Structure 1
């Protein structure tokens, strides 16, 4: 079974050009499945049928794995068996009827406009670090990009004259406009602060840590958490919180879902539509406060 899994991962890498993270995720899920079957004396992938796969799903449910985890494992299993069937390695695909559990879509945590405003005012603009941090936070909230995308940006990805940034999402890229407040923060950073961290031509990275090296996600998270505490924001905040807040605030202020989907880089519009619920919640709150017969 391990041979088939290795060949499948190689196929994903060479033929499908999947990302490293995707390949690691598939391999992790499929190895767990292989261990489960090996413990039950099943070593040949051709001996795995519908009943065996259903048994593995039941095992995960009894183990109280999260629905999202089980759903991801089902997707990995189905991808493997589809590949084996297409390659004529198995006579039939036993995963066709495998149904993942329903995953309840939780409402993401977002900040209010006032909380975002307080957060973005925290960096000290009299220091290079504060100027850099202000630019990062402004750009993150202005574009809704993922923190991994933010930290992957190079100088050439930013066009301040035309007011946009080119965001790289694995093997794709998208162009996101930026507003005047963000442009001002970026101009100040490039003129007054970036040179304090990196020597000329040392790196093309747009943002670095104080040593001029690439900033890690953990490093950025510490920066963000520190400013959140200074701003008096009580609930938990992560780098993704600004992405969620960007989407919710854009839709609340009249942006169309399709445009927000493109800016966020969502492949499925239903993922973006989750943020519409914040508008409904806001209207309900206004109704309950104002209507005399609520």
Structure 2
């Protein structure tokens, strides 16, 4: 009975819904696994399936079984879509009295932890930001850009969008314009101030062939693009011998993680990053907790 019900649903998808060949193949594979699960629990009719059976199947998808490997949350959620479609069809066709799968929620994907670099790798990248040499206009620009990114936690779009008047080196502060044009003033560390001062005095004048308010300029005197800024970091990371993938957001993540590691309050970090909700910032606390756990596991005499 169960095999016929599943076959009827697949025929419905192919003939009446005009599902693509790849979609049918995916649904057939997912429902074959569902059929095996139900058969293993001595269920041979969708009318005998309860909501708890569907929930148990989702749990098994994540855990894996003797014949099937465990699935990631996203893959398990995709499989549940096929199962929901089957039960909805069964209810509409009268195979079952109710749709028992409609209330079953897909598994929540694990939150991806932001990538951050240890301090020594960040410093190595900053020291390697010298395109054309440490005293060349582009070298001074690149050094100032990366120092500013790490010192402020600015998004790459915020950094390349800066005008000269947005930065106050005397008071060591910068005006950043974030998402939704929300503005915030962020302090700048001494190394970043020194790098920006050096660029403004010896680097930018050589790049500014025409009048422009932009702080970071390209070789044609235009505003440095996000793509070019990314390339500056990529080149510096290669020079520094950093094997892991590094993006401008990596410096932002490192900024937040290093602040929290140093004891900064999460709400202060929220303001510095320009997050509208502290919930967004709290993902960085997961990074620091994991670091603490690793140190504890290595150092505590009774951690194992």
Shorter-chain TM-score category? Answer: 0.5 to 0.7
Q: Which residue pairs with 2:197 in the alignment?
A: 187
Q: Which has the larger radius of gyration?
A: 2
- Give the C-alpha shift of residue 103 in structure 1: 4.4
Q: Does 1:214 align with 2:223?
A: yes
Q: Distance in 2 between matches of 1:101 and 1:212?
A: 51
Deviations 1:62-106 (A, max 9, x none): 9xxx96xx9xxxxxxxxxxxxxxxxxxxxxxxxxx9x89744310
Local SS of the residue matching 2:141: helix
- Of 214, 223, 235 in structure 2, the residue corresponding to residue 226 of structure 1 is 235
- CA RMSD after TM alignment: 2.7
Q: Distance in 2 between matches of 1:142 and 1:284?
A: 27
Deviations 1:203-249 (A, max 9, x none): 10010112211222111111111111111111111110000000000
- Of 117, 122, 144 in structure 1, the residue corresponding to residue 123 of structure 2 is 117
* TM-score, normalised with respect to structure 1: 0.65
Q: Which residue pairs with 2:95 in the alignment?
A: none
Q: Which residue pairs with 2:296 in the alignment?
A: 287
Q: Distance in 1 between matches of 2:272 and 2:118?
A: 20
Q: Distance in 2 between matches of 1:174 and 1:104?
A: 31
Q: Does 1:174 align with 2:180?
A: no
Q: Distance in 2 between matches of 1:101 and 1:130?
A: 48
Q: Are 2:129 and 2:146, in contact at CA under 8 Å, matched by a contact in 1?
A: no
Local SS of the residue matching 1:208: coil
Q: Show structure 1 runs of 4+ deviating over 4 A.
A: none
Q: Which residue pairs with 2:285 in the alignment?
A: 276
* TM-score, normalised with respect to structure 2: 0.63
Q: Distance in 2 between matches of 1:199 and 1:103?
A: 51
Deviates more, 1:189-198 or 1:103-112: 103-112
Q: Which residue pairs with 2:114 in the alignment?
A: 108
Unaligned runs of 5+ in 2: 1-15, 18-26, 31-72, 78-102
